[in-house]
Amino acid sequence: DQALQRFKELPGNQRLCRYAIKGDVAYRLCTHTFQCATCEFGQIMEDTFQQKLAKLAARREALRKKEQKAEA
């Protein structure tokens, strides 16, 4: 893939992690060439996002039940 090849050609200090590019973290360099499944930091970030999504889903469900109860 051409994009990965260009990434590999960048100097080390310019190889930003996808989470830094997205703005999820202020600064982090990518040491796994965007192979996030093999990156410990990537897994930590993914786990954190999944936990947040689960909490949001639980809140939505609680609000839905509260609204249904209020309507009854």
pLDDT in tens, 11-21: 999 999 999 99
Q: What angle do CA 10, 43, 4 make, to 5 degrees?
A: 25
Domain that holds residue 56: 2-71
Q: Are 46 and 21 in contact (CB under 8 A)?
A: no
Rounded Cα–Cα distance for residues 70 and 65 (Å): 9
Using pLDDT thresholds of 50, 70 and 90, give the confidence band for residue 67.
very high
* CA–centroid distance for 45 within its chain: 5
pTM: 0.70
- Specify the number of domains making up the chain: 1
Q: What pLDDT does 17 receive? A: 96
